[in-house]
Amino acid sequence: LITTLHTKRTELLPAVLGSTEETTTGVIRLRAMEKEGSLRIPVIAVNDAKSKNMFDNYYGTGESALHGILRATNVLLPGKNFVIIGYGHCGRGVAAFARGFGCHTIVCDVDPVAALQAHYDGHRVMTAGEAAATGDIFLTVTGCKDVLNAGHFKRMKDGAVLANAGHFNVEINIPELEGLAKRKRTVRPNVQEYELADGRRIYLLGEGRLVNLAAAEGHPSEVMDLSFSLQALAAEYIAKHKLEARVHRIPTDVDENVARLKLQALGIKIDALTDAQEKYLAGWSEGT
Amino acid sequence: LITTLHTKRTELLPAVLGSTEETTTGVIRLRAMEKEGSLRIPVIAVNDAKSKNMFDNYYGTGESALHGILRATNVLLPGKNFVIIGYGHCGRGVAAFARGFGCHTIVCDVDPVAALQAHYDGHRVMTAGEAAATGDIFLTVTGCKDVLNAGHFKRMKDGAVLANAGHFNVEINIPELEGLAKRKRTVRPNVQEYELADGRRIYLLGEGRLVNLAAAEGHPSEVMDLSFSLQALAAEYIAKHKLEARVHRIPTDVDENVARLKLQALGIKIDALTDAQEKYLAGWSEGT
Amino acid sequence: LITTLHTKRTELLPAVLGSTEETTTGVIRLRAMEKEGSLRIPVIAVNDAKSKNMFDNYYGTGESALHGILRATNVLLPGKNFVIIGYGHCGRGVAAFARGFGCHTIVCDVDPVAALQAHYDGHRVMTAGEAAATGDIFLTVTGCKDVLNAGHFKRMKDGAVLANAGHFNVEINIPELEGLAKRKRTVRPNVQEYELADGRRIYLLGEGRLVNLAAAEGHPSEVMDLSFSLQALAAEYIAKHKLEARVHRIPTDVDENVARLKLQALGIKIDALTDAQEKYLAGWSEGT
Amino acid sequence: LITTLHTKRTELLPAVLGSTEETTTGVIRLRAMEKEGSLRIPVIAVNDAKSKNMFDNYYGTGESALHGILRATNVLLPGKNFVIIGYGHCGRGVAAFARGFGCHTIVCDVDPVAALQAHYDGHRVMTAGEAAATGDIFLTVTGCKDVLNAGHFKRMKDGAVLANAGHFNVEINIPELEGLAKRKRTVRPNVQEYELADGRRIYLLGEGRLVNLAAAEGHPSEVMDLSFSLQALAAEYIAKHKLEARVHRIPTDVDENVARLKLQALGIKIDALTDAQEKYLAGWSEGT
């Protein structure tokens, strides 16, 4: 929508107060637009809210990506070498839940801090090239393109399963997979079998589109409610304030307010700081 | 040291190029100093580095706090109601590892986002007042004072164990515990038994000081090396640049460089983005 | 089949060499028949094989019951109070995986050893009556009848979800649920909403039949292969040996052979004892 | 004691009513004695009680072995390749808790069923020879001798740590380690460094004796109480019954009684079967 506004329907831009952006990839693109000076409306990056990325991305994608894989394949997860490519909020959720199911988790990431965290979280860390030869199930959650390509497909075991829960259907290079295959057939709904020249078979789920949407029902509404509340309150904030045409962080009090409302809905009570504690945290002279 | 410089030895300040700060509490205090206009040297907040707080705090405190509790008490962790007060990096590490040991974990936090995360991570969330009546073991990791006090001690079960892995020995209000006790004795090294008027006994570990230092050996050197490398490289950065007298974030490339060196030392290889991928991530026109 | 043979088609019994029994409940019933002197053919209790109950029951039911619940409801599992009634092989599998998903697990069992194990495994243990008021999702895996009944339904929260992965559709007392309901409707495939007189709604999955079969696809074939191999080899064993008309354990070497074949299929190599080690284990004079 | 009675003090045997045996290895040896006809007193195998081996062995050894390793070495467990040799009750406990700490767990066992279970539990399974080249920490929990020997030491990485939580100090072949070493020194209490000819260093904890006893304080008393209660009630049972001179299983009601008493001490209530349920479980005609 924002892209269309800035390319094909620029005459509408003056009437637009602003926008909010829900996804990691959307925010990356908006920042790219801002950087090159193309962005002409204010946008609040809802995705960067603490009440969003730790919840919708981690728990929502974590659960629904596994749900999609189970539903498409009915594989036995325990004991599988499960390769997670991308260890951001989404990847960390998937990796934690996959391990909770008895998977042998392997993580690949280009970010050294994320890779180190995965290592200490108990996942094996290696290049996607090494993982290609070991994995039973591969899930891309990167927001980048061409993450699994011909170089990887050539090293995979017969029966390898490929899925994407990142952004678009470009994370797995499907044209290259098609190029390597001598035959292709649908073996179950949302499961395409690609038979390579040497007889090995690779199974692509949901045509490489988001497996939680293609093969299951997407994130549960119970976690999307956090994100949608943030969207609604961010829209209200835009309407009430005059913001510059750039990408804005969501105000902290809006962010915390959403978490507070959700706790209330769940019937969970938490403590508040006392005045003495507030003062202690704001000071620097007390203590050893 | 920084406090002393700013209070008792101000004549030395002009000769100081800058400083680095390792701990969460230290950074909070420096920001308080900066806010009130007292800070007269540049300080790099090493604690805020991604290579620091996700590692030293989460894995280091997570492991060493449990190690300290085991060493002080030799209790059986499986099945214990383990109350973690504070769900920052340190608290999340302790909670994850305690659950890995079969503890029934309970989390208290004043921050609604942290509390909500704890809930979805599988920990029960409640006020410290409610937790007081349920817990077998209590660990404070807040950076705040007076987190457990007379109001809580009065509700605790006979045999409750109290420990602190936060900052100073003020997280547990020891004077109030002393005030309630009719008798006090050392039952094991680092274990003080407080007998209350009604006969209930509360056990305080390491006099309420950091239990990982008091009753074990602190963080393993293997995780402190990340923090110390950051300190060294931050000091070099201060020496090479002229920085303003305020709290500075650690430069991202220094941060990532430390993670990269550690991966190398561990023999772990990761992928790099291709040029096409870099370009894709920087753009906004490709994709659906 | 065995029941029919012993009741309606007894004329066929003389021609039957024997039988094998796959399920926990089936074996319990066969032992009941044996005890009362009714069993007239030999039966090998495949269910009691180590290669069966630790695998098919634990991993198979563990995964597929959660799969069924996800598929029927698309609920968010993290943070849910998930009540598992029955902590045998099936219940332990479900409980472990549910916790791996961030559920707050609660276990009920009438067996004190199982209940104690659940406690130390990190699950809260209580009576089903107590759990009724706390749970968000209830799963019966007991092999017994009337495990959840009107007494429990009356205490449940609005929105409680009920499923069964035990044996028949008698674990949840559906007639009593029907009796309490003033209205009933299908809200999603395999999800029946029962509205009680006071407006609370209880959701029954798959009409109380096995939720992994009703709402998903049952156990993955990858784990059933162990059970079916045991069945095949047990049938061969019956054909080659003349067995008495009672319930027989599966021979240990058949049991281990199946595990060995599966390891081979997975490409996993293990060590063998050396002669010296065999002798050591068979002796009692070496060592302190 | 039993060995001494049967070898050096046979004149005392007629006066002995019977005995109870606490450990896995002890029971194996007593069964070996029974098999060769040497056993001359009745012995109740307390180790085989459900209230013993699932608790003392799994949770007790699981926790205390890790405690011993932490205390001896202060290593960082997260991220370590932790090799568990032996996947019985003890090994499964250690493996589960080590993974809870973020270790990369590897399991070796000669029993195919145990090996397969380890695989599905999410641990990598391989021969000890393969694991030798990969492991950072090795723990033997087998009850067998010579489990790690020169063949393994030669393949280990510089810095490998060896510990035993199985039975005696014969699980690790220390004479062969001594034979390979050109130098040996104590680097910390309970940590012996063996320097091999090529400069690699191997660290042996607690001289290869049980690491939980050598370097920590053994099992917590809270879990030993189950075993000691079983011993006491088994002794009473021997005194009240005239038993044959062989290895006896502990009576089920004694076993369950201990679990029941422990639940009571923990304040945990469980349900009891109704008469209708008892009847249902004992029958075979009800249900589909």
Report whether pLDDT(D288) > 70.
no
Question: What count of CB pairs under 8 Å joins A to D?
Answer: 28
Closest residue in A to D106 (Cα–Cα): A104
C-alpha span between D135 and D156 (Å, rounded): 7
Provide the CA C267 distance to its chain's centre, in angstroms.
28
Residue B198 φ/ψ, nearest 5 degrees: -90, 10
Q: Give pLDDT, residue D283.
A: 76
Name the residue type at position C207. Answer: E
Q: Give pLDDT, residue C287.
A: 52
Q: Which residues of chain C have pLDDT under 70?
A: 284-288
Q: Using CB atoms, which residue from B128, B263, B272 is nearest to A116?
A: B263
Mean pLDDT confidence for B201-222? 96
CA distance C50 to chain B (A): 25
Cβ atoms of C176 and C140 within 8 Å: the answer is no
Report whether pLDDT(B286) > 70.
no
Task: Using CB atoms within 10 Å of the CB of residue B192, give its burial: 0 to 12 exposed, 13 to 18 middle, 19+ buried.
Answer: buried
The structure's pTM equals 0.94
Contact C70 A70 (CB under 8 A): yes
Task: Using CB atoms within 10 Å of the CB of residue C23, give its burial: 0 to 12 exposed, 13 to 18 middle, 19+ buried.
Answer: middle
Closest residue in A to D99 (Cα–Cα): A122
Q: Which residues of C touch D169 (CB under 8 A)?
A: 288
C-alpha span between C197 and C181 (Å, rounded): 6
Per the listing, tokens 């410089």 go with: B5
Contact D78 A120 (CB under 8 A): yes
Contact D124 A104 (CB under 8 A): yes
For chain B, list the contacting chains (3+ Cβ pairs, <8 Å).
A, C, D
Provide the CA C175 distance to its chain's centre, in angstroms.
23
Inter-CA distances, D102 with B98, D84, D94, D95, D261, Å:
12, 15, 13, 11, 34
Per the listing, tokens 């801090």 go with: A113
Average pLDDT, chain B: 95
Q: Give pLDDT, residue D281.
A: 87
Q: Which residues of D touch B100 (CB under 8 A)?
A: 96-97, 99-101
- First and final C-alpha spacing in chain B: 56
Percent of chain D with pLDDT over 70: 98
Contact B111 A256 (CB under 8 A): yes
Q: Give pLDDT, residue A54.
A: 86
**Which band of pLDDT confidence, cut at 50, 70 and 90, is reported for residue B282?**
confident
CA distance D195 to chain C (A): 27
Contact B78 C121 (CB under 8 A): yes
Contact D102 B101 (CB under 8 A): no
Q: Which residues of chain A have pLDDT under 50?
A: 288
pLDDT by residue (tens digit) across B64-76?
Answer: 999 999 999 999 9
Contact D70 B70 (CB under 8 A): yes
CA distance B116 to chain A (A): 6
pLDDT by residue (tens digit) across D55-85?
Answer: 999 999 999 999 999 999 999 999 999 999 9
Mutate to test the interface with C, among A55, A56, A63 (most CBs of C within 10 A): A63
Cα–Cα–Cα angle for B74, B76, B79, nearest 5°?
155
Cβ atoms of C248 and C238 within 8 Å: the answer is no
Q: Give pLDDT, residue A284.
A: 67
Mutate to test the interface with A, among B271, B278, B288 (most CBs of A within 10 A): B271
Query: Structure tokens of C231?
Result: 């069945």
Q: Enumerate the β-bridge partners of residue B162.
A: B138, B204
Interacting residues of A18 by C-beta distance below 8 A, sequence separation 6+: A41, A42, A43, A44, A238, A243
pLDDT by residue (tens digit) across D170-195?
Answer: 999 999 999 999 999 999 999 999 99
Closest residue in C to B122 (Cα–Cα): C102
**Which band of pLDDT confidence, cut at 50, 70 and 90, is reported for residue D286?**
low
Closest residue in D to C93 (Cα–Cα): D121
**Which band of pLDDT confidence, cut at 50, 70 and 90, is reported for residue D287?**
low
- First and final C-alpha spacing in chain A: 56
List of E strands, C96-252: 104-108, 124-125, 137-140, 160-164, 181-188, 191-196, 201-205, 247-248
Report whether pLDDT(D265) > 60.
yes
Q: Which residues of D touch A124 (CB under 8 A)?
A: 104
Q: Enumerate the β-bridge partners of residue B204.
A: B162, B192
Cα–Cα–Cα angle for A158, A159, A161, nearest 5°?
130
Per the listing, tokens 């249902």 go with: D280
Q: Give pLDDT, residue C286.
A: 60
Provide the CA B238 distance to its chain's centre, in angstroms.
26
Q: Using CB atoms, which residue from B70, B99, B220 is nearest to D100?
A: B99
C-alpha span between D153 and D176 (Å, rounded): 9
- Angle, helices C89-100 vs C62-73, to 10°: value is 60
Q: Enumerate the β-bridge partners of residue C210.
A: C164
Contact residues of D toward A, CB < 8 A:
78-79, 99, 102-104, 119-124
Q: Give pLDDT, residue A288.
A: 45
- Half-sphere exposure (Cβ direction) of D102: Cα atoms closer than 13 Å: 23
Query: Structure tokens of D177?
Result: 């380690």
Residue A212 φ/ψ, nearest 5 degrees: -70, -25
Mean pLDDT confidence for B134-160? 97
Q: Give pLDDT, residue A153.
A: 98
Q: Which residues of B touch D67 (CB under 8 A)?
A: 67, 70-71, 74
- Half-sphere exposure (Cβ direction) of D138: Cα atoms closer than 13 Å: 31
Name the residue type at position A64. Answer: S
Mutate to test the interface with C, among B75, B120, B123, B137 (most CBs of C within 10 A): B120
Report whether pLDDT(B288) > 50.
no
Mutate to test the interface with B, among D101, D104, D221, D223 (most CBs of B within 10 A): D101
Contact B102 D70 (CB under 8 A): no
Interacting residues of D277 by C-beta distance below 8 A, sequence separation 6+: C144, C145, C146
